[in-house]
Chain A
Amino acid sequence: MREIINMIVVLSLICAASGTLLVNLKQATKARIEQQVLLNVQGPTLMAVLKGCDNDPIADRKKVGDVTLFPARKDGKLSGVALEAFAAGYSGDIGVIVGFDVNEDKLIGIGVTTQTETPGVGTRIMQQGFLKQFRGHSLDGLDLSSRGGDIDSVSGATYSSTGAVDAVRKALETYRRIKPQIATLWAS
């Protein structure tokens, strides 16, 4: 019996000790990791979407509620914002970053951040042929042609296309909802 208790105590204590250690490490690295994740996961797509800005959108990011907004500035003036939204694709969520032109109220463009679509089929939503349809699109009437909009889905990847468009539409709604606050966010 003593042996059993010894067994249990040692293993539990080692577990607890490692938990303590790790949680502190996690706390210490938390901020850095978050930034690294943004930089590496959203970063490349974000920079592609907000092409031509002369600030660092990640460093200047701000949060409204639970939405993270990335500003783009040109010549010191806020020209656009980008935000990420998710929707279910063929398998798993599709993450899309949508850039909005704050001055003209239209889309700058979109980029796919995360997806787990079938390689070679669903992944074609990441190709320019599909993505360029969003460039400069107005805020209204953005939907798949099958649903009365003007976005053509990728042939054979209807689910993936739908997911991407859904995500963009979600981002659109968010943008509309928080648009009033945007101007004041980077007022300085």
Chain B
Amino acid sequence: MVASSILVLFLLGLTAAAILAVASRLLHVAEDPRVARVEACLPGANCGGCGYPGCSAAAAAVVDGTAPAEVCIVGNIETSQRIAAIMGAEVHFKEPRVATNICSGGDRANLIFDYKGVEDCRAEALLYGGEKSCGIGCIGLGTCVKVCPFNALRLSEAGVPVVDWNACRSCGKCAEACPTGAIRISSVTSVLLHLNQTDDCLAPCMQKCPAQINVRRYIQQIKQKDLRGALLTIKEHNPLPLIAGRICPAPCENICRRKIVDEGVAIHTLQRFVADWEMQSGIRVPLYCNPPSGHKVAIIGGGPTGLSCAYFLRRVGHEPTIFERREHIGGMMRGVIPEYRLPKKVVDWEVQTILNLGVETRTGVAFGRDVTLKDLEREGFEAVLIATGAWKVPPLGIENDDAEGVVDAISFLERFGREGPDMSGVRVVVVGGSNTAIDVARSARRQNALVTVLVPAIQRKMTANKDEVERALEIGADLRFLTAPLALHVENGAVSGVTYCDLAYDDPGKAAGEPKPVSGTKAFIEADLVVAASDRVVDHSLFTDADGNPLFKRDKKTGGVSANPTTLQTDIPNVFVGGEVHTGRNILIQAVADGRRAARAIHFHVTRGAVPEPDNQQVQVIPETILKNMHVTYTIPRVQVPLTPLEERRISFKEEVACSISYDVARKEASRCLRCGLTCYDADAGAEYTQDDDVRPIDRPGSE
């Protein structure tokens, strides 16, 4: 037994080892050793996000050349680099991506029924799209959490998923599983260039803002003391918060749901507060930019559109160059808009922030004169954005409108729009009702001139910002509403006075349409200087080819250069147009919005060769988001922006009229925000300020 035991085991071990050894030789499958090495670099989660059935399949594909080194979407750049090193290939930049939840409503949404079933969002969605009345919101059963192979998701207390961005590898499983699209995979590019869609969770303010700023988020961030986050949120869609916070007429505030209860949230005041916080800190919050892609883009015009487009192009990784006719970047924001509304140092700071990202500039170069489309193409620019603005003020179109003493508003503001010669005793007549006209009136008045403005509308219908009109009246400008000049009187070749008539609307109650002259009315006013500020139009003389033929079609409605309204692409495929040169006279935030829209189009043009139309683009305010009744618990008075005292304003250009608000005031104002979703909102907003005297519960009719 002794011998047999030892022998049997020995022989067995020998046979087993021998067979395995021989088998591993004979049955050796010739495998590219690189497959195993590449596979070792991959995370091994077999998530399938790359489109291959697993990590080993992806590794095989990399080795046989059908997949690039950056095949793995969940791996980081190091993964790609290691694979590239094995394959001897160069690694291309892969933009980091992450899952994001767009729904912040959670369990505050109205229920249309009570769901008691399989705990899976997909199952619930089969029943009328889920128990929540909102069709796009998070259902909250956590299917995304269950499918996440990286444990990067959890459900918050409010029942919406929270992404751990350190753990998320953007494999896309959650987005694939989510039946409502509340969770999406986003990247820097997709966030920056996303255009509002009807299936996004859009509060009314976000729909109304031309730049589509995520108002809800940045106001919440202010409330949570995350000013840096708020700034980054604003800068996702608006690179000029300092400027927009000062001169934007804030269409968003007009549509704010809080207006149903008391007054709209002071959205643009808060924006300015955040932007001022950064500027006053003196340190620029770093903005993430993708590394240079090698795509060069020429931007003609250094105004808000050009700056905005350059900013977005640079952040998504392209290399824009701004060509500016004047010596300074900033367009009308710098030099035309007066100092007391928009100080030059603010504009310079903001411009510098953008240029610091790596935007090149060439000043003193005028399009058409110093550089042509051909030159740009030759220099290697793959796309061109025309953003030259609308600088031409049309003549008054009345008798003697070319006499001495008649100037256009832009020239006036450029020449007199800063602390200049004393204009005591000079009688100035301004024609027009736009912001430009009011700026002229205020600047002249501050230099002690006697100012009369002939406004072709009633005060409510003026295109100028309401506040600015107030400011003009405060310092003693004489605004004559519903008037229009008839003729200029000339003495010794110089203008001496203006005759004007009254205007009237067809229906004075509604004040709709263009007011018409009332026959028989006639008045005269003496004038030493007449400033035409009725409108600003696009100067098409810039856009001609060598033979003098126009380069672009003219848009009949706006008078600007015609282009596709979504992509801003002109008839020349690699030339895009944006801002006032496309829309005609418009507000600053529209220019910023156009810059971003153009950047999106240019990005797709240079990377894909074609510009896709966005899906479900939100163009008009979504009707279901306009609520009739709301049940809000507390009313909190809107913040009052402190103003520079009238005395100082009369004599000085330096002081900004509107001053900054304090941190505590800003946070209190932020707490007024109802954090609206598509249909849901926080009824208890501001509950943390109930101790304050000015915060009162709203008596709800029928609640007793």
Contact = CB atoms under 8 A, between A and B. Distances in A.
- Are A and B close enough to touch in the complex, i.e. CB under 8 Å? yes
B659 interface: no
B17 A16 contact: no
B10 A8 contact: no
B622 to A, nearest CB: 71
B10 A27 contact: no
Interface residues of B, number: 17
A77 interface: no
A26 interface: yes
Nearest to B16: A11
B167 interface: no
A16 B9 contact: yes
Nearest to B21: A4
A17 B6 CA distance: 8
B283 interface: no
Nearest to B19: A8
Interface in A123-161: none
Contact of B10 (A4, A16, A26): A16
A12 B13 contact: yes
A187 interface: no
Residue from the set A10, A12, A22, A26 with the largest chain B CB neighbour count within 10 Å: A12
Residue from the set A4, A14, A22 with the largest chain B CB neighbour count within 10 Å: A4
A24 B2 CA distance: 8
A13 B18 CA distance: 13
Given A4-B21, A8-B21, A15 B2 contact: no
A19 B9 CA distance: 6
Nearest to B13: A15
B9 A11 contact: no
A18 interface: yes
B610 to A, nearest CB: 58
A23 B13 contact: no
Contacts of A31: none
B14 A4 contact: no
Contacts of B8: 19
B511 interface: no
Contact of B6 (A10, A14, A19, A27): A19
B18 A8 contact: yes
B6 A23 contact: yes
B398 interface: no
A8 to B, nearest CB: 4
A137 to B, nearest CB: 41
B154 to A, nearest CB: 49
Contact of A23 (B1, B14, B16, B25): B1
Interface in B11-36: 12-14, 16-18, 20-21, 25
A20 B6 contact: yes
Contacts of B25: 4
B5 interface: yes
Residue from the set A7, A10, A16, A24 with the largest chain B CB neighbour count within 10 Å: A16
A78 to B, nearest CB: 35
Given A4-B21, A23-B1, A11 B14 contact: yes
A46 B419 CA distance: 125
Contacts of A10: 17
A19 B5 CA distance: 6
Nearest to A16: B10
- Counting chain A residues whose Cβ lies within 8 A of the other chain, the interface size class is 10 to 19
A73 B21 CA distance: 63
A11 B5 contact: no
A7 B17 contact: yes
B9 A18 contact: yes
A11 B17 CA distance: 6
A34 to B, nearest CB: 14
B22 to A, nearest CB: 8
A109 to B, nearest CB: 37
A26 B476 CA distance: 117
A27 B2 contact: yes
A34 B14 CA distance: 32
Contacts of B9: 15-16, 18-19, 22
Contacts of A26: 1, 5
Given A4-B25, A23-B1, A12 B6 contact: no
Given A18-B9, A19-B5, A23-B2, A7 B21 contact: yes
A73 to B, nearest CB: 35
B13 to A, nearest CB: 3
B14 A8 contact: yes
Contacts of B20: 7
A13 B9 CA distance: 9
Contacts of A4: 21, 25
Nearest to B2: A23
Contacts of B12: 15
A117 to B, nearest CB: 33
Contacts of B1: 23, 26-27
Nearest to A18: B9
A23 B6 CA distance: 8
Contacts of B17: 7-8, 10-12
Contact of A16 (B13, B16, B18): B13
A11 B6 contact: no
Contacts of A14: 13
A19 B12 CA distance: 11
B21 A16 contact: no
A127 to B, nearest CB: 40
B430 to A, nearest CB: 96
A20 B17 CA distance: 19
B556 to A, nearest CB: 84
A14 B16 CA distance: 12
Interface in A1-51: 4, 7-8, 10-16, 18-20, 22-24, 26-27
A115 B21 CA distance: 44
Contacts of B14: 8, 11-12, 15
A27 to B, nearest CB: 7
Given A23-B1, A26-B5, A15 B21 contact: no
Contacts of A15: 9-10, 12-14
Contacts of B10: 12, 15-16, 19
A36 B634 CA distance: 87
Closest 5 CB pairs between A and B?
A: A15-B13, A19-B9, A11-B17, A23-B5, A16-B10
Given A19-B7, A22-B9, A23-B1, 18 more contacts: A7-B21, A8-B18, A8-B21, A11-B17, A12-B13, A14-B13, A15-B9, A15-B12, A15-B14, A16-B6, A16-B10, A18-B9, A19-B5, A19-B8, A23-B5, A23-B6, A24-B2, A26-B1
13 contacts: A8-B17, A10-B17, A11-B13, A11-B17, A12-B17, A15-B10, A15-B12, A16-B9, A19-B5, A20-B6, A22-B5, A23-B5, A27-B1
Interface of B: 1-2, 5-10, 12-14, 16-18, 20-21, 25
